[in-house]
C-alpha cells in the first residue's frame, strides 16, 4: 500500500536522534505531548509540552544544566525564537549542544498534497524553518553550527520495498540534503579554558629505540598518564617500556601488553583502560612532534573542538617522510572519508588525535554496528566522531621521516582493507537501515 508510514518514519527518526546521545552526559529531549515518537532512550530525560504557551515556563522550571538538548518538531510553534533560544542557552552547560529537528522546507507542499489525497494522515502541527534563519538567530546567542543533514527520502509503505528504497536513496543522495527530516546541530561557545586530565596512548611495535626520545619530549602536563601498548615485537620494545616506566616515575607511565594484533587493536585495548578526561593517540615513530599535543589539548579545553585530528598535508613534509604511493593513498581515502562524513578533511590517516573520554562508549557501539575491523583505528575514530555529531577540527603538524626502524604499513594489503572498511561503513552511517 502506497501510504506514508508514520510508525516507521518516527522509528527512523529515533535512530538518527539517539546517535547524538552520550550515556555519560546529561541529555534532554523536548517534544510535543502529541508527538508520534514512542521509543525512549534510558540515557535521556523527556520533556513533553502540552501547549506551546507553557513552553517557556516549562523550560524556566528546569534546574539541571544539560550537555545536549534535542528539540523535535516544535520550532514552527515558537512565536519568539530569540526568547526561546535565550532560555535554552541558560539551560545548557558550557560547550553544550542543541539538536533541532524539523521538516525540510522543500517537502512542505508535497506533504500537503499527500494529506489532500489521503496518502498521509493530516497533521495539526508541522515544524519547518530554514538553515539561514536558524544560523542568523543562533549566532547572536553564541552558538556555532556543527552539522546539518537530512534523512528519509521514501517514507511510504510499498509492500516490502519501502525500507529498501528509503535506505538506497539515503545512500545515494545523502550529500544533497533532500530528505524530509532536517537535523541542525549547534554548539554553545565556551566562555573560558577548563583544564582536564589527560591520557596519552602510545602504540608501539618494534619501536625500542624510539620510545625514550618520544616520552621525554612529551610536554609536562598536570594529571597525565602515558599508556605504552606493546605489540608482539621482534626487538626489546616491551623491556624498554618497563625500563622507562621505572626510570621516569614522574611521567606516570603504564605498560600494557597487547593481546591482539595491529595498531587499531592496540589503540582500542588501551582506550578501555584510560582513566582521564581527554584521550590522545600518539604514534611511537616520532613522525609527528609530541610537543603538538599542547595545542591539541588546548583546542578541546577551550571549547573550540570535541575532536582534534592531525593533518600532515598543510606544511611541507620532511624528505622521505611519506612514500609517493602513500601520498596518493592518503589523498584518495581522505576524499572518500570526507564524502561519507560530510566534513572537509585534508588527512584521514594521521596517527595523532585527541578526543574526550565520553566518546569511547560510542566507539565500541560504532564497531559493533559496523562489524568490520579498521587496521589502524583512524577511520573508526573519525567515523564515530562524525556519526555522533562531534565538532571535528584539524590541526596541522609537520611530518618527519623515521630515525629508527621501519614502517609497519603494507601499502597494498592495508589499502585494500581500508577500502573494504569504507564501503561497509557507508551502510552503517545510514540510520534508516537498522530498524
pTM of structure: 0.86
Select from 140, 134, 61, 64 the least CA-distant residue to 100.
Answer: 134
Under 8 Å between Cβ of 401 and 290: no
Rounded mean pLDDT, 65-88: 88
Would you call 7 helix, strand, or coil by DSSP? helix
- What nine digits make up the cell of 249? 616515575
Q: Which residues pair with 226 in a beta bridge?
A: 200, 253
Residues 378/348, Cβ–Cβ less than 8 Å? yes
The model's pLDDT over 180-198, given as tens digits with 9 standing for 90+, comes to 888 999 999 887 788 999 9
Distance from C-alpha of 299 to C-alpha of 15, rounded to nearest angstrom = 30
Could you tell me which residue, 14 or 157, shows the higher pLDDT?
14
17: pLDDT strictly greater than 70: yes
Indicate the DSSP class of residue 255.
Answer: E
Given a cut of 60, is residue 434 above it in pLDDT?
A: no
Distance between CA 140 and CA 181 in Å, rounded? 25
Question: Residue 246 corresponds to which cell in the numbers above?
Answer: 621505572
Among 323, 291, 96, residue whose Cα is nearest residue 187: 96
Coil, strand or helix: which one is 348?
Answer: coil
Residue spans per domain, the chain = 3-188, 198-428
Q: What is the pLDDT of residues 305-350, one digit of tens each?
A: 999 999 998 888 777 777 776 778 778 888 888 877 777 889 988 9
Does the domain made of 198-428 have the CATH classification 3.90.550.10? yes
3-state percent breakdown (helix, strand, coil) of the chain, nearest 5: 40, 20, 40
Give the C-alpha separation, 164 to 185, whole Å: 27
**Residue 34 to residue 112: CA distance in whole angstroms:** 20
Q: How many helices (H) and strands (E) does the chain have?
A: 14, 15
b/e per residue, 151-180, with b = 16+ CB within 10 A?
bbbbbbbeeeebbeebbbbbeeebeebebb
Report how far residue 388's alpha carbon sits from residue 383's, in angstroms, rounded to the nearest whole number: 8
| Residue tagged 527520502 (cell numbers) | 153
* pLDDT mean over 347-362: 92
pLDDT > 90: percent of the chain? 43
3-188 — its CATH code?
A: 3.40.50.150
CA dist., res. 248 & res. 270, Å (int): 20
Amino acid at each position: 500500500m502506497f501510504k506514508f508510514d508514520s510508525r516507521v518514519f518516527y522509528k527512523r527518526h529515533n535512530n538518527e536522534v539517539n546517535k547524538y546521545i552520550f550515556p555519560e552526559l546529561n541529555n534532554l529531549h523536548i517534544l510535543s505531548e502529541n508527538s508520534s515518537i514512542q521509543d525512549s532512550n534510558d540515557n535521556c530525560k523527556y520533556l513533553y509540552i502540552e501547549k506551546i504557551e507553557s513552553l517557556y515556563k516549562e523550560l524556566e522550571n528546569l534546574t539541571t544544566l544539560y550537555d545536549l538538548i534535542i528539540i523535535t518538531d516544535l520550532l514552527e510553534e515558537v512565536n519568539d525564537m530569540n526568547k526561546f533560544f535565550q532560555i535554552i542557552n541558560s539551560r545548557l552547560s558550557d560547550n553544550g549542544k542543541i539538536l533541532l529537528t524539523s521538516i525540510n522546507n522543500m517537502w512542505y507542499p508535497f506533504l500537503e498534497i499527500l494529506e489532500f489525497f489521503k496518502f498521509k494522515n493530516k497533521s495539526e502541527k508541522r515544524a519547518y524553518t530554514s538553515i539561514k534563519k536558524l544560523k542568523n538567530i543562533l549566532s547572536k546567542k553564541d552558538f556555532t553550527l556543527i552539522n546539518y543533514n537530512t534523512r528519509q527520502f521514501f517514507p511510504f509503505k510499498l509492500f516490502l520495498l519501502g525500507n529498501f528504497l528509503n535506505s538506497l536513496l539515503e545512500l545515494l543522495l545523502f550529500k544533497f540534503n533532500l530528505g524530509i527530516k532536517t537535523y541542525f546541530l549547534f554548539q554553545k561557545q565556551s566562555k573560558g579554558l577548563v583544564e582536564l586530565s589527560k591520557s596519552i596512548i602510545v602504540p608501539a611495535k618494534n619501536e625500542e629505540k624510539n620510545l625514550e626520545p618520544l616520552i621525554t619530549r612529551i610536554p609536562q602536563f598536570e594529571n597525565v598518564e602515558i599508556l605504552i601498548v606493546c605489540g608482539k615485537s621482534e626487538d626489546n620494545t616491551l623491556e624498554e617500556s618497563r625500563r622507562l616506566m621505572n626510570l621516569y616515575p614522574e611521567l606516570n607511565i603504564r605498560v600494557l601488553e597487547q593481546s591482539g594484533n595491529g595498531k587499531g587493536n592496540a589503540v582500542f585495548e588501551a582506550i578501555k583502560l584510560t582513566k582521564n578526561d581527554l584521550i590522545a593517540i600518539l604514534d611511537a615513530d616520532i613522525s609527528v612532534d609530541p610537543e603538538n599535543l599542547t595545542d591539541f589539548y588546548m583546542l578541546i579545553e577551550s571549547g573550540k573542538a570535541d575532536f582534534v585530528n592531525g593533518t600532515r598535508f598543510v606544511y611541507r613534509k620532511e624528505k622521505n617522510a611519506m612514500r609517493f604511493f602513500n601520498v596518493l593513498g592518503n589523498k584518495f581515502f581522505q576524499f572518500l572519508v570526507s564524502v561519507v562524513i560530510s566534513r572537509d578533511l585534508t588527512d584521514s590517516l594521521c596517527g595523532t588525535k585527541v578526543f574526550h573520554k565520553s566518546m569511547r562508549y560510542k566507539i565500541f557501539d560504532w564497531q559493533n554496528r559496523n562489524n568490520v575491523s579498521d587496521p589502524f583505528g583512524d577511520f573508526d575514530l573519525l567515523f564515530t566522531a562524525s556519526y555522533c555529531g562531534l565538532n571535528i577540527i584539524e590541526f596541522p603538524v609537520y611530518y618527519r621521516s623515521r630515525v629508527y626502524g621501519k614502517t609497519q604499513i603494507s601499502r597494498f594489503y592495508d589499502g585494500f582493507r581500508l577500502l573494504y572498511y569504507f564501503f561497509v561503513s557507508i551502510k552503517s552511517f545510514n540510520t534508516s537501515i537498522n530498524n
